[in-house]
Structure 1
Amino acid sequence: MAKEQLKLSIPVSFESKPQENIPLKAFLFNRKGELMESVAVTGDKADFKMAARGIRDTRVFIVPAGDERLETATTIADLQRFKPYEPVLNLDPKGNLKVLPIPANLLKLWKLRFCRVRGNVYKTFSMSGVTQNRPICHARVHICEIDKIWWLLPKIPDYIIKKIPDIILYPERPIPIPIPDPGPIHFPGTVIRPEIATEIRPLALDVHPLAEAAPRITGAQSMITPVARENVLRSITPEIKQQLLSGNVSAIRNTLQANLQLFHPYFCLIPWIWPYFYRSDEIKTVYTDYNGKFDTTIVYWVDGDHPDLYFWVEYFIDGVWTTVYKPPIPCYTYWDFVCGSEVNIKITDDRVRWECSDVIDGDIVWVKSIGHGASVSRIKQVDDLVTIQGKSFNRIGLTDAVVTLSQVTSGDYRQPFGGGLYFLLQFGSGLPSTGVKYYRWSYRKVKEADLSDTGITAYTRLSNPISKGYTFEYIDGGGHKQFGSNSFKLGPYPIGGTPDLYIIPPTSPAMAPVNAPESSPFWDQNTVSVTFDSKLDGDGLYEFKLELFNGAGHLVNVPKASQFFRVPKPDTFSPSILAPDNMLIESGGNVSAYKMLMRIDNQSCKAAVDKIKILTGPDYVDASTDCCGFVKYNPAQKNNNSLIKISFQAYHPNNFANFGFVVQKGTCNDAAQKNATNVSGMVIGDAPAGDGVPYVRSTASIFSKTFSPDTLLGICSSGGKGAFAEQLSVSVLTIDGNIRLYSRDASGLAAFALEPA
């Protein structure tokens, strides 16, 4: 006989009617514990669409709806946190399904409360020395509930428990990762990286996140400095300390369970211990709006713990959701979260760009920046001779952009450009228009690296393929809003016989000529308009030209009075201002193009610390013939300021580099010696040390200075001998508009020891 087949319709009623309506959800499992279907309870019944075998092979669970974690529940174990009711399924003599009402006492456990969770995600951007906090739009924020795993304490191995007293009572001592490591106790929502301990910022004493991410902390913050840590230790009573020092594993476990909240600041600094004491469960995922804000509601049980919330953030980078903020859980959890308060999340990841710019009105082309960090208004467009370390230095084409790892400050125009470059534009809402639909970039090299003329007059068109990405919304199979990505090719295209033209994008990808088919498409109003490999034609001064074209591919000359081309305001970046005359190509009152000069340099640094030399007769010779570094001197010449020569090479072919040279004597903090030996500057010319006496630079960029043994020995003079380390760093000044190209840096390290002959 064929097995009985049913389409289940489960009647749902209450033994006593609840005071408030409780949304319910029903889950259908087979006897193997496999989820067959889940449905909302409507009209006092749960109708399952899936055919099920006889009731002997069926289990049904009913839980209060409203918690988003139910969407990912796939096992009976997943439902246990929601206090499920499993009705007994019986058939009456006529074969009808009989289900008893939900017990009245279960209603006492099914009381939910709602908690408003608001916040904003932002990043501090520096644009050529102008610092602004800007919202991060369309970021994905994961909201997690953190539980202190009280019930896991008995399962933590004894050898781990024995390490806890040292972590708490002696936080200055390094605590090595135990062997074996936590292994399978690791839980979802936590990333433990070996380097995380070096990334942890100071902690607030009440164990909330920092001021930038803690709604309940106001005013001055008390951080976990050595003094502040001592203050926390004072709250550890003699009784607690006695138990921790007892060596009794059971006593230590009991003390931990009774005082876990007190110990969070110390566990925060020990990443390997987190999985033993905390569990993270994601309860909701939200997206930030154009202002970087998010606002949602979560639910929690009246008889349960008040929510302890932790946040981590992803951002859509190159078509992939990428984690850009995931700090240590114990340090950044909002214990007993204050519902309705605002969470401020500061992103520092370099990959996150300023991409929430507003639409600007009118027929405008705003030439913004090289990369995302170097304003075009902060690039010298004329000869500008200054004197640096006694040498003449022309700053034309250089920038003072303060980017990541920058070696300059605002107003210090010494940085050339190099590597892969891209130019950022923003088009006004009036474009593309009938008269202006396309743009094109060209370049020519006008000066060599030494600023001699090249004789080049013709422009070379830039023609690398460019696409503009956009994000759109869609609803996934679970009924949740998600974000996807697509892109539209801007060019290059031949139009009307004119090659290498690029489409001016409209303000929305839903508009022509893009006509994006997806729902709610949007893109950053900033446009990466072109890319340029700066290594192609060598170092020198380049002129870049931006032209506009109509629908037929003909060059458009715009009246100068139309104020078509804009650049950033130099001191604030925003708002835009009219492009100055020296950045325009004019003819008869019309403007045919925007132009700008940029210095290109792709050279690397060199660094070397020479052997110590000693004056022998009229010349300086190596003080030792081997590599061991011992320098013997005549005690009778202890005060001879010309006896010992220290030298090093700090080199860059075009002088676009800074250097720093340090001499460290043993473990001494000898201010007078350091003042005389330590020096920093640009590699261009002689560099005075702190005592005013310069290291003299040779044509080969070798810096040297002479000393007496007494000056070097300083506070060690009475013994007549000392050991020294010499450390040299040479840092290139070149940037790509986002970051200083530090891979072109160089360094040197050496050591020597002075002793009387």
Structure 2
Amino acid sequence: MPKILNRVGGIHGGMKMKTQEHKPVTIRLSAESGAGEAKNLYAYVADKRGKVIESVPFKGLEAQLRSTRGELEGQAKLYIAQGVPSQAASKLNERTLLKAGAYQVVQNFSGHVIDVLRVPAAVLQPWIWNNCLITGHLSKDFLIDGQSVNQPVCNARVHICEVETEFVFPHIPIYYRPIPDWVISEISERFASLSQLNVAPPPIPDPIGPISQTLISTGPRPAPAASLKMKAAALPEIPAHVLRSLTSGSAETVRQAIYANHALLYPYFCLWPIYWPWLYTCDEETVVYSDCNGHFEMWENTFSEDGPLNIYVWVEVNINGQWVTVYRPSLPCHTWWNYTCGTDINIKVTDPRVMPCDCGINAHGELAWFRSIGESATALHIEQSDANAVSVQGGVSLFNVGCTDIIDAKRISPFGGTLNFKLLFGDGLPTAGVTHYRWTRTRIKDANLNDIFGASPQVINGQVAKTYFVITQSGGQFHFETHAITLGAEGSGQDIGYRIPQWDIYNEPLVPSTDKALTIQWTSPDFWSASIDSHALDDGLYRFDLELGTMSAGAFQVVAVPKAVFQVSDYSNSGNSVNAPDYDLHIDSGNTAHALALSFKVRIDNAPCSAVIQNAELTDGAGHLVYVNGVPVVSGKCGFIHYTSLAQGVRISFNASHPRNFATFSFGVIKGNNTDPTGVSASGYVLSGVDGFALSGGLFTQDVSVPQLLGTCPQAAFSENLNVYALATDGTYRLQSGYDASDVKAFALSNT
């Protein structure tokens, strides 16, 4: 009878399953699951290859899937997790879910319902979404004028990939490409062969350049012992206990040994590329392009990782219209294991076909593009409003007209030093009506922004050249010799002008015909169109005007051009140009669709900073100085302050200043060997008190108690260190020499 009942039950159970397996599945959370208040909770279904094939939000405590019981029982997996941020949707898979701590549901069905009693508390928290800056530079050593010169490689395609090792123990139970036992066995045999060579390991070589693609083998192969012996000398030594594990003969022991010692062993895997497809997963995250400085970057938005971020990079360059791989080194030895976000990945390309950077700019039409002062200070990053005041610190504001934000995001950096104006003309210039250009300057306000009336424009003169390369080849290497043409000045006095160079160098009449018979190219499509030493000028606010025109009878004649001719660098992407805004133009009063000049304001301030630390002074702890025989107790030239009570204090003060407050400072007091902090430090802008220091009468001052300074020491010696940093820039760098200031003093507290 029991057999009959079981048989009948089995038949009826089978019939029930047949009915239920075609119904959509419902996931039901119990009231005790802890998910009652959870928001944005989802159910995810992943197929047996790890692809997420369905995601459904919970409504209350239930999620209604489209998947049926039959489909879920076909090796699909079910997870509960927070909803994925939109920026992560494209990279969502089962591996990502597991990394982020998703909860895998046990598929115990009750009909077409899966009841979940509890879920881990971590699942109820929002995704941890991190922003990691992956950044670097591309460069190449070029033979220029007989010297090896390192220059950037621009407009290269940079492939940024994330690498994961399949040797994970214990591993996430997803294997797109399981490592077969024969691979583990062969690797063990190779290590066994290496252990018999007994050679001293010199440094690992650093191969760079293209590598061939490897194929996944379909079966075991004999180990090439001769090749192993030849390359073994380039490998680090393996400790005896690790080698014993690697040659143990147990596949699981070998797996664990490789996982635990991967940082030591991956140089060996560099020798065996045939195994890489089994050992590593290398997923391309994105492709970015290097800029004119060879710089590249991407922001990687990653879920909480189960391990470190590992980055691999390979590079293509467009050569003769084709994208050619010029850098693709061995995977394991050129992966940035445990990559630290923001760390520069600096790559030096060696492929002889790579040419010096010309930025790939192809500016079509009649345009004059003011790119920047220096390398970085573009027009739209220079404040032009006289009335604009920016709040800096402690409620204090600065009028920042003519200042840039390339040093400080508050846009309070004035200009100084030598100012170079970078200009680029489109391929539509010169024309019969516009053949020359020039820059003028006019001082419109003094150093304190008081108006100056009646100032007349002054032409910025001096010789301007545009350089080009003459390219020859010998011994399989390109040689670049720098030549130049002089664009002017033509004319004299205030009538001078400068030639607009031809876009196509072979059409430029100033280039000698002997050079045109060779391979030549401009060193860059843009050039330094004017240069001015701002030290020769009085500090203040200047208006700089770029004018276009012609030379007539030896004198420059300004020509009004359509406003769109004048271009400036895009605010967000300096590699693109946009029409100059009207406030940056001198509009032609007779035709408002035309402009007579590109016109913008620049604040020049070459004033140096000041840094002076005052003598430390003893106080009674209540804000009053302590006097002995009518003389205040100060550190003085000998540095000692004699204290008589722990209730006393020390007044610390210093001057950190700039005539127009264009500076920041840092100050700190160090005790002894700096292992016991004093807690006395400050940093910020020089225009207001900060970090416990009050600013009054030009001095930053703070009273510090004797116990705070001494800590556990009955008496101690201290060093005071002050640095004041100018905010001035030449458009490329922050100016330091002759601008910054510093001071160091010392004092000691003694009760004897």
Q: What is the one-letter code of the residue matched to 2:637? A: C
Distance (whole Å) between structure 2 residues aligned to residue 336 and residue 233 of structure 1: 15
**Cα 1:375/1:131, change in 2 over 3 Å:** farther
What is the match of residue 684 of structure 1?
A: 687
Instruction: Give the conservation status (yes or no) of the 8 Å contact 1:137–1:355.
Output: no
**Is 1:630 paired with 2:640?**
yes
Q: CA deviation at 1:359?
A: 2.3
Q: CA deviation at 1:138?
A: 8.7
**Cα 1:216/1:749, change in 2 over 3 Å:** farther
Q: CA deviation at 1:208?
A: 5.7
**Pairing 1:541-560 to 2, within 5 Å after superposition:** 541-550=541-550, 552=552, 553-560=556-563
1:190-232 Cα deviation digits (max 9, x unpaired):
xxxxxxxxxxxxxxx994659x9997999xxxxxxxxxxxxx9
Instruction: Give the conservation status (yes or no) of the 8 Å contact 2:617–2:635.
Output: no
Q: What is the one-letter code of the residue matched to 1:397? A: G
Please list every run of 5 or more consecutive structure 1 residues that lacks an aligned counterpart in the other structure.
1-129, 145-204, 219-231, 241-261, 266-287, 294-332, 339-343, 403-407
**Cα 1:401/1:355, change in 2 over 3 Å:** farther
SS at match of 2:688: coil
Distance (whole Å) between structure 2 residues aligned to residue 474 and residue 720 of structure 1: 74
Distance (whole Å) between structure 2 residues aligned to residue 531 and residue 346 of structure 1: 33
Residue in structure 2 matching 1:514, options 510, 523, 535? 510
Instruction: Give the conservation status (yes or no) of the 8 Å contact 2:140–2:348.
Output: no
Residue in structure 1 matching 2:650, options 631, 644, 648? 644
Relative to the length of structure 1, the TM-score reads 0.52
Instruction: Give the conservation status (yes or no) of the 8 Å contact 1:434–1:551.
Output: no
What is the match of residue 663 of structure 1?
A: 669
Instruction: Give the conservation status (yes or no) of the 8 Å contact 1:400–1:412.
Output: yes
**Cα 1:291/1:623, change in 2 over 3 Å:** closer
What is the match of residue 384 of structure 2?
A: 381
**Is 1:360 paired with 2:358?**
no
What is the match of residue 715 of structure 2?
A: 721
Distance (whole Å) between structure 2 residues aligned to residue 722 and residue 530 of structure 1: 57
1:363-397 Cα deviation digits (max 9, x unpaired):
01111101112222210011321232332311111
Residue in structure 2 matching 1:734, options 725, 728, 734? 728
Relative to the length of structure 2, the TM-score reads 0.52
Instruction: Give the conservation status (yes or no) of the 8 Å contact 2:379–2:568.
Output: yes
Q: CA deviation at 1:513?
A: 2.8
**Pairing 1:424-435 to 2, within 5 Å after superposition:** 424-435=422-433
**Pairing 1:359-508 to 2, within 5 Å after superposition:** 359-383=362-386, 384-388=388-392, 389-402=394-407, 408=408, 411-474=409-472, 481-494=478-491, 499-508=495-504
Q: What is the one-letter code of the residue matched to 2:681? A: N
Q: CA deviation at 1:473?
A: 1.8
What is the match of residue 750 of structure 1?
A: 745
Distance (whole Å) between structure 2 residues aligned to residue 485 and residue 233 of structure 1: 45
Distance (whole Å) between structure 1 residues aligned to residue 671 and residue 748 of structure 2: 9
SS at match of 1:493: coil
**Cα 1:379/1:645, change in 2 over 3 Å:** same
Instruction: Give the conservation status (yes or no) of the 8 Å contact 1:662–1:727.
Output: yes
Q: What is the one-letter code of the residue matched to 1:647? A: S
What is the match of residue 609 of structure 2?
A: 605
**Cα 1:515/1:568, change in 2 over 3 Å:** same
Matched residues, number: 437
Q: CA deviation at 1:457?
A: 3.1
SS at match of 1:712: helix
Instruction: Give the conservation status (yes or no) of the 8 Å contact 1:462–1:500.
Output: no
Instruction: Give the conservation status (yes or no) of the 8 Å contact 1:353–1:372.
Output: no
**Cα 1:451/1:626, change in 2 over 3 Å:** closer
Q: CA deviation at 1:345?
A: 5.8
SS at match of 1:596: strand
Q: CA deviation at 1:434?
A: 1.3
Identity %: 31
1:427-468 Cα deviation digits (max 9, x unpaired):
101011111110010001111111111224310000111111
**Is 1:570 paired with 2:539?**
no
SS at match of 1:381: coil
Distance (whole Å) between structure 1 residues aligned to residue 666 and residue 742 of structure 2: 10
SS at match of 1:374: coil
**Cα 1:393/1:337, change in 2 over 3 Å:** closer
Instruction: Give the conservation status (yes or no) of the 8 Å contact 1:733–1:740.
Output: yes
Instruction: Give the conservation status (yes or no) of the 8 Å contact 1:415–1:735.
Output: yes
Query: Runs of at least 4 residues of structure 1 off by over 6 A?
Result: 130-135, 212-218, 262-265, 290-293, 333-338
Please list every run of 5 or more consecutive structure 2 residues that lacks an aligned counterpart in the other structure.
1-132, 149-201, 215-234, 244-263, 268-289, 296-328, 335-344, 350-354
1:31-57 Cα deviation digits (max 9, x unpaired):
xxxxxxxxxxxxxxxxxxxxxxxxxxx
Q: What is the one-letter code of the residue matched to 1:454? A: I
**Pairing 1:252-271 to 2, within 5 Å after superposition:** none
Q: What is the one-letter code of the residue matched to 2:647? A: N
**Pairing 1:274-313 to 2, within 5 Å after superposition:** none
Residue in structure 2 matching 1:707, options 704, 724, 729? 704
Q: CA deviation at 1:233?
A: 8.9
**Cα 1:337/1:733, change in 2 over 3 Å:** closer
